[in-house]
């Protein structure tokens, strides 16, 4: 049983994404090294994550949900890091992917990675091109889905091997050195399937209604959970489909832009880079098919 890498997430009801998360990380690191925080003690989470370390917590809705969530995740991160060389922490719809071009797996790669670091994979939003991709996602996502867009918002400092604290949302870390290995990506799956996206958004909109706040400005909950920020689902997907297609898969300039804008956040202990809204898309090379 390997103990070099642990992976942690928190989930409530998102069975589609949890199935992908457990299958992917469980296959890489073993389910015994996965930590699933079961918000609300859901039975479906217990079933899907069987064999993982499941931590059940009360499911009461709260207007400062995100603040409470990351306070707990930071505490567990500190504890797990004392037993594992690397801890990957993130949302259930986020998967760290190693470029298959290296010819090795993520566990082997991390075993050979220096400790006392924070690694920030480049964020890529997996898009469902509803205009041309009719295949239903079964076991694997990449194959039925081949298109991604740059997502700096999801270029997260999520592979941790040093004492540090992550900001709410996991977007920033108390680490002054930015390390962006060119072979690491963070695939965000929120938009990978139109039907699952709509169902997930319905669940999130229901949560914000139950906490009785009129706007995302009145709560510590992601703004995308609010119906006022949602818009029409089909329009959202069709808009992304029209982003200009880029030739090749050279993402080095975008990593360099992260380093060029690297600075400490004003009035906080966290460090950041600019997160421009790149309205462009890429088609993933063949070598990525079947990775997740």
pLDDT at 225: 47
pLDDT range class, residue 202, cuts 50, 70, 90: confident
**Rounded mean pLDDT of 152-157?**
97
pLDDT at 65: 76
Instruction: Give 254-266 pLDDT, tens digit per residue.
Output: 999 999 999 999 9
If one compares 72 and 63, the residue with the highest pLDDT of the two is: 72
Out of 95-99, 137-141, 181-185, 197-201, which region has the weakest mean confidence (pLDDT)?
A: 197-201
Out of 101-115, 134-148, 202-216, 217-231, which region has the weakest mean confidence (pLDDT)?
A: 217-231
Cβ(48)–Cβ(22) under 8 Å? yes
Q: What is the 3-state secondary structure (H, E, C) of the chain?
A: CCCCEEEEEEECCCHHHHHHHHHHHHHHHCHHHEEEEEECCCHHHHHHCCCCEEEEECCCCCCCHHHHHHHHHHHHHHHHHCCCCEEEECCCCEEEEECHHHCCCHHHHHHCCCCCCEECCEEEEEECCCCCCCCCCCCCCECCECEEEECHHHCCCCEECCCCCECHHHCCECCCCCECCCCEEEEECCCCCHHHHHHHHHHHHHHHHHCCCCCHHHCCCCHHHCHHHCCCHHHHHHHHHCCCECCCCCCHHHHHHHHHCCEECCCCCCEECCCCCCCCEEECCHHHCCCC
pLDDT range class, residue 231, cuts 50, 70, 90: low
pLDDT above 50 for 153: yes
Strand order in the sheet with 122-127: 94-98, 184-188, 122-127, 147-150, 281-283
pLDDT above 90 for 124: yes
pLDDT above 70 for 211: no
Q: How far apart are the first and last CA of the chain?
A: 22
Out of 49-58, 64-73, 224-233, which region has the weakest mean confidence (pLDDT)?
A: 224-233
Query: Where are the domains positioned within the chain?
Result: 5-195+228-288, 196-227
Out of 4-18, 51-65, 153-167, 275-289, which region has the weakest mean confidence (pLDDT)?
A: 51-65
pLDDT range class, residue 216, cuts 50, 70, 90: very low
């Amino acid at each position: 049983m390997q103990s070099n890498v642990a992976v942690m997430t928190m989930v409530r009801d998102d069975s589609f994404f949890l199935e992908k998360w457990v299958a992917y990380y469980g296959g890489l690191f073993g389910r015994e090294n996965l930590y699933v925080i079961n918000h609300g003690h859901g039975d479906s989470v217990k079933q899907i994550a069987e064999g993982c370390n499941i931590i059940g917590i009360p499911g009461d809705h709260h207007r400062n949900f995100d603040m409470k969530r990351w306070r707990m995740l930071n505490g567990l991160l500190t504890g797990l890091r004392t037993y594992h060389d690397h801890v990957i922490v993130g949302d259930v719809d986020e998967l760290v992917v190693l470029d298959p071009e290296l010819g090795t797996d993520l566990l082997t790669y991390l075993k050979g990675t220096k400790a006392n670091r924070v690694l920030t994979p480049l964020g890529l939003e997996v898009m469902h091109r509803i205009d041309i991709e009719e295949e239903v996602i079964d076991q694997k996502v990449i194959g039925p889905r081949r298109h991604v867009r740059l997502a700096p918002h999801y270029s997260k400092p999520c592979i941790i091997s040093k004492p540090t604290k992550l900001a709410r949302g996991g977007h920033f870390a108390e680490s002054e050195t930015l390390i962006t290995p060119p072979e690491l990506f963070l695939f965000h799956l929120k938009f990978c399937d139109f039907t699952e996206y709509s169902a997930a958004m319905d669940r999130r909109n229901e949560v914000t209604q139950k906490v009785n706040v009129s706007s995302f400005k009145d709560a510590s909950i992601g703004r995308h959970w609010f119906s006022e920020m949602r818009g029409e689902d089909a329009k959202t997907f069709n808009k992304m489909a029209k982003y200009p297609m880029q030739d090749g898969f050279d993402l080095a300039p975008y990593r360099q832009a992260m380093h060029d804008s690297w600075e400490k956040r004003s009035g906080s202990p966290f460090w950041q880079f600019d997160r421009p809204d790149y309205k462009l898309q890429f088609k993933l090379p063949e070598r990525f098919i079947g990775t997740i």
